[in-house]
């Protein structure tokens, strides 16, 4: 494909289909060093604000599952909790330490994003621009310890390995793609969307069908199966309960309208990266050599929309189009004056730093609690609001326990009706002498109702009208009060703290039909 000059779109100047010269090892090492130094910003920012406002409700579940490691969990694969366990073993339990693996993984993903541009023929400027384009995503993801960070790593490993196959013709890189798929299965099952898109692209593009006959492609498939096998076996042994859970949660999200705004979310996520995403996608589609990579964006974009997925599910697809767009800009500027190159790259850097600042303002826990900016976050970012108040809630549960009679304390339990409350009581409860909580949600359900059948229960995260159906008596004895009047799921949806006495039916009967997904 020829390179057009003058006023032509830089997307047309982006990807060459001429034989590509081998990449020098010494240059590769220097590129990795530069990209790693820039990606380290994520880790530095993490240490500066890693404690945030406290554990997020989802992190409390990951934290409790990290104490009960297995090859799979009801709501997700095991990798996030595994690295959470590593962080706990190395540094103890703190918000900052628990979130460190997410920051490190996101930094690695940034380096791989830069190397993605390198595989497309980009030099260091294109690699750095790609990293900067992906930096807002990485900062937002590393602010919490969740599977989204590990999911992005899996996608980038898959995509950069596929790009290496297309650049070099060396099909041994399919084994790296298989590793990415395997890591994806262990991280978040959404890896099936780029995988299906890749397979569809290979079938639909005649020039790519030959890969399906390559023994290295099937070796890559074997790598994926071997890496994912422990979790797949766990799923089979548990009757693929995660499928049931995913169906339940997805139906709830659609019912609550959480899947609405999918396409407008993409514009929000891209912000100043929009020209690079559009230009990069166009360039990929016009490149016979790298056209297959376009499926990693287009396929999930369509599939998530059809499945009524949430907007952020598509975030791991952006590095490939950003990389293509950055290479296009670099090649377009190669024919321009040095002064113009400096101005354009300066504008790009300023725009990305502005976007990083916007992400920090809206999504990072950087403000002093009680300040005007903090109050704005509490009203406009529900995730940050759900980091506030967990120690106070547990203290209120302990105060209710202190009001029980001595006989009631000898046979009581704390029943948490959601995983955030369960994780909070498990974490902060021992300081008050509270027992390990029981809960019917997700993996807490499989741990049962404890060593004895409790006669008195302190219920947190539930509602009086719901609990009264199961107990002979229930009454409200306290309310959740969050600092600074913050409103979140606990204070809005189920603020009551209850004391309930004597199940109407036997514990095994009630427990057997009480499994909940959340």
Token pair 């790296």 is at which residue? 176
- Interatomic CA distance for residues 509 and 513, integer angstroms: 7
Residue 18 pLDDT? 56
Helices (H), 257-337: 262-270, 274-286, 295-306, 318-333
Spatial CA neighbour of 412 closest among 400, 420, 395: 400
Q: For residues 264 and 270, what is the distance between their CA atoms, to the nearest angstrom? A: 10
**Mean pLDDT in consecutive groups of 10 residues from the start of the chain, 518 residues:** 38 53 76 95 88 92 96 96 96 94 96 97 96 94 93 98 96 98 97 98 96 96 98 96 90 84 92 95 96 98 94 96 97 92 94 92 90 92 93 96 94 95 97 96 94 94 92 94 91 94 93 91
Residue 1: predicted pLDDT? 36
Distances (CA, A) of 267 to 103, 262, 316, 393: 25, 9, 15, 37
- Whole-number pLDDT of residue 22: 59
The pLDDT, as a whole number, for residue 93 is 94
For residue 15, which of 299, 210, 294 has the smallest C-alpha distance? 294
157 alpha carbon, distance to own chain's centre: 15
Look at residues 184, 182, 172, 186 and name the one whose alpha carbon lies nearest to residue 219: 172
Q: What is the pLDDT of residue 27?
A: 85
- Three-state helix/strand/coil letters over 467-505: HCCCEEEEEEEEECCCHHHCCCHHHHHCCEEEEEEEECC
Alpha helices in 145-209 (DSSP H): 147-168, 174-187, 192-204
Task: Look at residue 257 and give its three-state secondary structure.
Answer: coil
H/E run at residue 39: helix 25-49
Pairing relation of β-strands 456-460 and 412-416?
parallel
pLDDT at 255: 85
- Do β-strands 471-479 and 456-460 pair in parallel, antiparallel, or remain unpaired? unpaired
For the question of whether the overall pTM of this predicted structure is more than 0.85, the answer is yes
Output the CA torsion sign for 17, 23, 27, 29.
positive
Residue that has been written with the tokens 């599939």 in this structure: 303
Quick check: 64 and 426 in contact, CB under 8 A? yes
């Amino acid at each position: 494909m020829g390179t057009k000059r003058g006023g032509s779109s830089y997307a047309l100047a982006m990807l060459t289909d001429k034989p590509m010269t081998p990449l020098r090892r010494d240059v590769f090492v220097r590129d990795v060093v530069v990209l790693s130094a820039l990606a380290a910003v994520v880790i530095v920012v993490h240490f500066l604000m890693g404690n945030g406002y406290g554990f997020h409700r989802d992190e409390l579940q990951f934290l409790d599952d990290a104490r009960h490691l297995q090859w799979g969990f009801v709501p997700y694969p095991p990798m996030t909790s595994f690295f959470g366990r590593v962080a706990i073993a190395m540094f103890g339990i703190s918000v900052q330490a628990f979130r460190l693996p997410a920051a490190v993984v996101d930094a690695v993903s940034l380096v791989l994003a830069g190397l993605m541009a390198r595989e497309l023929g980009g030099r260091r400027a294109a690699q750095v621009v790609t990293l900067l384009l992906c930096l807002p995503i990485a900062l937002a993801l590393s602010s919490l310890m969740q599977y989204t960070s590990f999911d992005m790593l899996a996608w980038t490993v898959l995509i950069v390995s596929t790009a290496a196959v297309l650049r070099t013709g060396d099909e041994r890189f399919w084994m790296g793609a298989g590793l990415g798929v395997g890591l994806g299965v262990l991280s978040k099952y959404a890896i099936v969307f780029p995988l299906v898109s890749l397979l569809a692209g290979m079938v639909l593009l005649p020039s790519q069908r030959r890969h399906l006959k390559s023994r290295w492609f099937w070796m890559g498939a074997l790598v994926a199966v071997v890496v994912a096998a422990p979790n797949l076996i766990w799923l089979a042994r548990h009757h693929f309960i995660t499928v049931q859970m995913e169906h339940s949660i997805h139906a709830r999200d659609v019912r609550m309208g959480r899947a609405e705004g999918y396409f407008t979310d993409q514009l929000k996520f891209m912000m100043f990266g929009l020209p690079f995403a559009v230009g990069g996608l166009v360039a990929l589609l016009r490149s016979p050599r790298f056209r297959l990579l376009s499926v990693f964006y287009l396929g999930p974009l369509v599939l998530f929309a059809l499945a009524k997925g949430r907007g952020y599910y598509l975030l791991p697809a952006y590095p490939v189009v950003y990389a293509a767009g950055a290479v296009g800009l670099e090649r377009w500027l190669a024919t321009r004056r040095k002064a113009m190159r400096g101005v354009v790259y300066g504008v790009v850097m300023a725009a990305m730093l502005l976007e990083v600042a916007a992400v920090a303002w809206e999504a990072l826990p950087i403000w002093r609690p009680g300040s005007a900016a903090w109050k704005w976050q509490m009203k406009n970012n529900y995730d940050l609001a759900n980091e506030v108040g967990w120690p106070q809630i547990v203290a209120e549960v302990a105060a209710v326990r202190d009001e029980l009679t001595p006989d009631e304390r000898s046979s009581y339990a704390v029943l948490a009706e959601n995983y955030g409350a369960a994780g909070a009581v498990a974490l902060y409860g021992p300081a008050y002498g509270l027992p390990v909580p029981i809960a019917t949600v997700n993996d807490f359900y499989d741990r049962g109702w404890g060593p004895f059948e409790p006669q008195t229960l302190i219920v947190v995260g539930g509602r009086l009208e719901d609990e009264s159906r199961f107990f002979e008596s229930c009454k409200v004895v306290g309310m959740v009060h969050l600092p600074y009047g913050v409103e979140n799921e606990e204070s809005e949806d189920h603020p009551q703290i209850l004391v309930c006495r004597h199940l109407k039916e036997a514990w095994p009967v009630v427990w057997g039909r009480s499994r909940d997904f959340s």
